[in-house]
Structures are given as structure tokens and as C-alpha cells.
Amino acid sequence: MSQPENSTERDIKMPDPALLGRSMADVARRSQRLVADWMKRMGEPGSDKPMNADPLNIAGAFMDMTAKLMANPSQLMQAQLGFWQDYMTLWQNTTRRIMGVESTPVIETDPKDKRFADEAWKQNEIFDFIKQSYLLSSRFVQDVVTRVDGLDPASARKIDFYTRQFVDALSPTNFLMTNPQVLRKTAETGGENLIRGLNNLLGDLERGHGKLHIKMTDTDAFNIGENIAVSPGQVIYENDLMQLIQYAPATPRVLTRPIVIFPPWINKFYILDLRPKNSLVRFLVNQGHTVFMVSWVNPDARLSEKNFSDYMVEGVFGALDAIESATGQKEVNAIGYCLGGTLLASTLAYMAKKKDKRIKTATFLVTLTDFTDAGELGVFIDEEQLQALEDKMNKQGYLEGRDMATTFNMLRANDLIWSFVVNNYLLGNEPFPFDLLYWNSDATRMPAKMHSFYLRNMYQKNLLVEPGGVSMNGVPVDLRDITIPVYFLSCREDHIAPWKSTYKATQLMSGPKRFVVAASGHIAGVVNPPEGGKYNHFTNNDLPASPDAWFEGATEVAGSWWPDWQRWVLSHGASETQPRVPGGGKLKPIEPAPGRYVKLRIT
């Protein structure tokens, strides 16, 4: 059968000249404005100061690696020989495939790697060759840099981390001419996807005021208090650092002892109240708990002098005093999430010194107390980087929220950076509305004094595990003084608070302890409602010194950890009382939940 005459015109759409002209004129106008804004900033006072060309202190680590690598050239030669042998095999296999002969791949993609999900990466010989070439090259580079002898551990971690960033950036999926999905879309739309992508890129630069602020989700699809963070309640107390929300009861009887939750102030609290179907708050009130949530303020320069102890005094103690006024109950169960958990542990050690027994049980969600191995975040904690960060914070009084968000996104660059580069800029798509990514993009600032204390004393010096190493409100504290029942929930794939590091707290605190590991990561493993039926968890009543020994003896349990926690907390007090309506005590409502503090976004 002969080929249709106009097959090319049928398969490839030609762009509309008028639309293309208008689009390019708009691109030119917006680009000119961005450049003008940048030039204006360069002309402002102080902008002519010499910039630190290596603020992350990467060059020194790589120079050290290169010197040690050159001192043992045989190791490099051996790696190169293996690489070239694999590459020659790939050439031979590709030739066979072009001739119609099936061949076994030299290197397979990780089943979890979503970058090469398009069928063309397997079915088309050329794209399969590009994919395998990239995988072989990336394996070679990473093998070389991770096998250098004589590097100190900190430099080795930094080299490994930034090598992976480099390798991920060079993936063929990130470029127009080597991504079959993008090429297909370009042919189908006549290049309109690239014009839309360029407009998306300019829009992200404009929103970031000249810095790339990738739009991860449709931010217009969500409104705090309307379709996320909708659990009914009232703000009953507030101060400079936080608002305290009391949620409405949902059962005819409630447990006598209220629950107070201290989320991290790195992010906003509503990760625990995204939507009714995955809301931990909704689960707790349905189980008969009177739930109080701390909503931290998004600080500005006025709060630059707030320190870690201020978060204890105004946050934890402010909440405890308010709960007593609202309910008449002194005793509470407390939950701390991530940094909120680190604050809770520090506060409990302080309370033990002061004989303050208001918190009767404590739950630590993905919380580090021993920072010996803080995961890949440790890459960013060396003296040079801390000094540069402190200089920046001291000038403006806080750490900008986007700086923190960028750091966390780099830990999962393929999922949280490059996938959006491909989707938004190359395919020209609009981001999909996703509540979790909306929350992830809702960054908050860190007060300069507090953040410096936290990074230096916890991450850099690991003083919280030392008796008296950290002082809270002038009192040296010791985690070994904590004797109340505690529940630890950690996550097996957590890249922020590695579960083996969080396990070390079980060997520090002195009271009854339960340790549970959930599947998935720092967020999905925690926010895992029973109805979802998604991630399992592991339990073990024994607490050996080694986390590996704990896991070896653990039992895998299907489904969410939430019911396990509910059984645990009831075992430490299950008396009931009449439901408490927000505002029914001595504290009157200030405004409906979720309050105004959480609605302040960084523009």
C-alpha cells in the first residue's frame, strides 16, 4: 500500500502564525521586564559586594576527592575499563536490535524510577540506547566518587549528594531532543507546548521575583479553610508565636485528657488536616479526643530574636495554660511532629527538672533527638555553610521559606524538581491540583536566632543527647530524665528523619516506650488513614540497642498505624467526660479555625 501523500501534514501540526507572533511578543516583553528588574537589583546599595561563588562549600570537597583519586590511578582505570566494556556491549546489543534481533539490556532501570516510564524508552532502539548510555554513565560517575579512599565522612556525603544532583540534572528526560514524550507532544501541537512551557517558565520567574519558583500544583484549586484545613473548631488563644485551635467534638462522650499537637514550624500544621478523608485531626475527634492544635506564626523580622526556648515558653507552655483555662484539665497527651517533636522532647526534659507533670504521655512523629546521622540534610551543615546562612539571616532577621523548601526538594530532586521541569516547561502542561503539593509549596520562614541555635546545637554539635548539653530557658536538660510513656512513629523511607536515627531516642528516654515503623516517607507514612488501606507498619515490643535488631524481630502489620496508636494512648488513660465545645470554658473564641496565622503565604 502506498504512503498517503499528506502524511507529514497529518502527523505534524503547524503552529498558527498569528498566535505564535503574539506569544513570542509577550515572551519578549516579560523577559525584558525580568532582566530590567535584575539590573535594578544589581544597582541597589550593597549589591556590588563580592558574591561567594561557592556558598555551599562544594569545591573544596571535590578538590580533595580529585587529589585522593589521582593518588590511586589504578582504581580509576579499573572503573573506566568496566565502563567501556559495558558501553561496547551496549553498542553491540543496539546494533542487534536495529537488525531485528532481541537482546538483553546491559543495565535495567530501577522500577521506582518514573522518568523512563514512557514505552518508547523500551520499544525504540535509539531511545533505549540513550537511556542505557545515561544509566551506565551515571553509575560509572557515582561508583568513582563513592569509592575514593581516605575522605572524611562529611566530604564523602557531600560529594555523593552533589554528584547525584549533577547526574539527575543531566538525565535525557530533561531535554527536548532526547525525551520521546516531549518530541511526540511537540509534533502533535506544532511546538505550542514549548511556547506554553516558556510562558510557564517566565511565570515561575516572575512569581519568584527573578528566582525560579517552580509551580508544583494548581494553587488556585485550594483555599485554606474552604477545601483544606476544614475541621470545625475555633482559635481560643494566641500570642506572637502561635494560635491555639480547639476542634469541635464529634462524639457524645469524650476522653477526659485532651490532646495537644505541636507541628513543625518549618511547615504549616494543616498537613494533619488536609481534607476529611486523610485528616488526622478528624480521626482523633472521631475517636473521642478533645484536640488542640498549635498553629505557628509565619515570622518576619520583628521576631528575629525569638529563640528555641521562646518556642517552649510561648508555644508549649502557652498552649498548656490555655488548655487548662479552656477545659479545666491540667493533664494532657502531647504529640510532636518532626521539629515540633524535638521541641517537645526538649520541653519534657525541662519539665522533668522543674517537676512539672502536666504532660502525661508523649508521641513523637518522625522526630530526631540524636543527630549523629541526620540523613542527607547533614550535607548542608558545615561551618562554612552555617556561617553563610547566618550572615544572610542576620541581614533580614529570618530564613526565607523558599530557601528551606529548595533544600528539602533537593533531597528528592527527580520527584520534586525535574519532573515539574519536564511537565511544566517541556510538555507545556499546567500542574495538576494536589493538596499535598499545595501544602509543600506553602513555605514558612524561620526566626534567625532560633534557627541558628537549632542548626548549631542539634545538627552540627548534637548536644541534645549530652546531659546538660542544651539549656532551655537557662536550665540544662537531659533527655534521660523523661520518664512518662512515649510512642515513637518513624517511617522506613524517611529522607529527613531516618528511622534508624530516630530509634536512638528509645535508648535515651527512661519511661515506658513503644516504637513503630510505618512504610513510606516523612509525610505519606504519617498521614495514612485506616480507610486508605495503603501503607503497612512494623511493631516490636522489644527495644534492643540496635535498630537493625529491632527490625529483624519486628512484625509486619497491614494498614495504618493510627489504630495502634489509639490502643496505646487508651492504655494510659481512658476515662470519659462530657464533650467540650470550643469557647465553652474561660477562653472565648477569637476566630474560626483554621485561623489567620496559617493563611499568611510567602509571595
DSSP string, 3-17: PPTTHHHHHSPPPPH
Report the chain's terminal Cα–Cα distance, integer Å. Answer: 60
| Closest of 421, 514, 441 to residue 218, by C-alpha | 441
Q: How many other C-beta atoms can be found within 10 angstroms of the C-beta atom of residue 583? A: 16
Query: Cell 524517611 belongs to which residue?
Result: 494
Query: Cell 502542561 belongs to which residue?
Result: 429
| Closest of 312, 493, 459 to residue 374, by C-alpha | 459
**228, burial (CB in 10 Å: exposed 0-12, middle 13-18, buried 19+):** buried
Catalytic residue among 69, 316, 332, 338: 338
Q: How many other C-beta atoms can be found within 10 angstroms of the C-beta atom of residue 392? A: 15
Cα dihedral 321, 466, 337, 596 sign: positive
DSSP string, 251-297: SSSEESS-EEEE--SSS-GGGGGSSGGG-HHHHHHHTT--EEEEEE-
**Single-letter amino acid, residue 159:** I
| Closest of 416, 419, 483 to residue 182, by C-alpha | 419
DSSP string, 38-74: HHHHHTSTTTTSPP-S-TT-HHHHHHHHHHHHHT-HH
HSE-up of residue 69 (Cα within 13 Å, Cβ side): 20
Give the Cα separation of 499 and 491 in Å (integer). Answer: 6
Q: Has 338 been annotated as catalytic?
A: yes
SS (H, E, C) 375-411: HHHHHHCCHHHHHHHHHHHHHHCEECHHHHHHHHHHC
Which residues partner with 592 through β-bridges?
A: 234
**46, burial (CB in 10 Å: exposed 0-12, middle 13-18, buried 19+):** exposed
The three cell numbers locating residue 255 = 476522653
Residue 552, C-beta contacts closer than 8 angstroms, at least 6 positions apart: none
Query: 153: cis peptide before it, omega within 30°?
Result: no
| Segment (H or E) for 365 | strand 359-365
Which residues partner with 235 through β-bridges?
A: 245, 591
Q: How many other C-beta atoms can be found within 10 angstroms of the C-beta atom of residue 183? A: 15
Give the Cα separation of 484 and 548 in Å (integer). Answer: 25
| Segment (H or E) for 558 | none
The three cell numbers locating residue 301 = 523580622
Q: Which residues are catalytic?
A: 338
